[in-house]
Amino acid sequence: MTRPNGAAPLTVLFLVVLIDMIGFTLVIPFLTYFVQDLATGDGFSDIGARDRWVGIVLASYTLGQFLFTPLLGSLSDRFGRRPILMLGLASNTVFLIIFGLASTLWMALIARFLAGAGNGNIAVTRAYIGDISDREQLPGRMGMIGAAFGLGFMIGPLLGGVLTDPAEGFGGPFATEWWTDHPYFLPCLFAAMLSLISLILASRILPESLPESERKTRPKSGGLRRVLSNLIGVRDLTPVVRRLILTNATFLLAFTMLHATFILFTAMPVEDGGLGYDERMNGYIFAYVGLVGVVVQGGLIRPLSKRFDVRLLMIVGTTLTAIGLGWIPYLEPTPLAVGLLVMTFIAAGNGLFQPSQSSMLTTEARDSGIDLGRAMGAQEGFGALSRIIGPILAAFIWAETVNGTGLWTYHTVFRVAGLIALMSVLIQFGIKKSSRDQEAMING
């Protein structure tokens, strides 16, 4: 079997990751409103009880990925990358449509969980690129994955906001009772059609990358066993690597608390202290966050890393995010520029933190003789736990305090998120810089 090469497979892989991110982020602007509607319809009249479901549904996708991506990775080692990628695209197509048609909370929850469970495309795409790339090609091609991430995070929320409630937003053929009763279906349908197109392209022009002679007929571990191995294996790593993994997990815990509660806050009526935003306005805000992230990670991080200590960039990024998180509940509807400044703090902080932390982890693991797969596997495992716990924790804090007074109000969850981010800053002060940190950042 000849390994695939050329632009066609890479183009399809870029589209796979881009569409994967669009499908994941597209729900951000309207998921809060959708879940609130479903919860109200299911009899949850109390605001706190209703809003608690936002975090649960949001975390269900990540939980599905957390549990099943290792299994899908093992299956791709055994049966090849192509069928698993196509399975992920088919899963996206089917479950996005089911989610858009959901009429109960449980239907929405199960659809999001199964969408995550069937979709290991990011991990399998990385493996595919590793199959077809030599050492010199690998950094640029992995950078392509990062570019698709950033672009997807810009496009997804924008589409989700603009396409929501077409009966009101577009009228014409959408001005019917059906579309009025299904205001969140069009963005889901649009993303599903993109996924279907990608599936057709993959079936036609994406060759298999893993020769049968190199496939593992009996994977050593898969599924839940591999997840547990990644988590438990952190105890065998060096103290610096463990501290870097803890730093990342703590940062992600704070950052993902924003996903569950930011729109709960912006959707609150102005007279109750919120901003009164609708789905479209929230879509614009999150598209702006994606744009700032692309600018920082795509254009600024390399020149900044040439001038400043990579540890300093990581600490500055975390601090900016902490300030932004704690500032959110004090925003007013006007001026909009202040709100954009706060989101700039959060997005730029994340953009500084992520590549800096990844660079330090990679360099420290190599300098310590630690297998990079072990270090990254442990980081991904604890990071996934944070992405599951963060939205649920935030939603429960919100539910318990949204109607409170004094110190315990809707401000509380953002203060907690900011404090957790500051904890990540404190953890970083114990990290010693490896001699090759800066070189890795500059050349990476």
| Contact (Cβ atoms closer than 8 angstroms) between residue 97 and residue 186 | no
Tokens describing residue 132: 């077809």
User: Is the four-CA dihedral 175, 181, 187, 189 of positive or negative sign?
Assistant: negative
Q: How far is CA 64 from CA 59, 373, 384, in A?
A: 9, 22, 10
| Contact (Cβ atoms closer than 8 angstroms) between residue 301 and residue 351 | yes
Q: How much is the average pLDDT of 225-232?
A: 70
Give the Cα separation of 285 and 328 in Å (integer): 13
Give the Cα separation of 4 and 8 in Å (integer): 9
Q: Which of 240, 225, 249 is nearest to 370 (CA)?
A: 240
The identity of residue 205, as a single letter, is I
pLDDT in tens, 266-301: 989 998 889 999 888 999 998 899 889 888 877 788
Lowest-confidence pick of 129-133, 246-250, 352-356: 129-133
Predicted pLDDT at 438? 46
Helix (H) or strand (E) holding 320: helix 310-327
Domain 229-444 bears CATH identifier 1.10.287.110: no
pLDDT in tens, 144-160: 776 777 788 888 889 99
Residue linked to tokens 């500084």:
352
Domain range 8-207, CATH class: mainly alpha
Give the Cα separation of 249 and 228 in Å (integer): 16
Predicted pLDDT at 117? 87
Give the Cα separation of 397 and 312 in Å (integer): 32
* Angle formed at CA 174 by CA 172 and CA 179, multiple of 5 degrees: 155
pTM above 0.75, yes or no: yes
Helix (H) or strand (E) holding 128: helix 121-132
What length is written for the chain? 444
Domain limits, the chain? 8-207, 229-444
> Which has more pLDDT, 71 or 328?
328
Average pLDDT over all residues of the chain: 84
| Topology match between the domains 8-207 and 229-444 | yes
Q: How much is the average pLDDT of 313-320?
A: 94
Percent of the chain with pLDDT over 70: 88
Tokens describing residue 278: 């609708």
Helix residue ranges per DSSP H, 80-102? 81-100
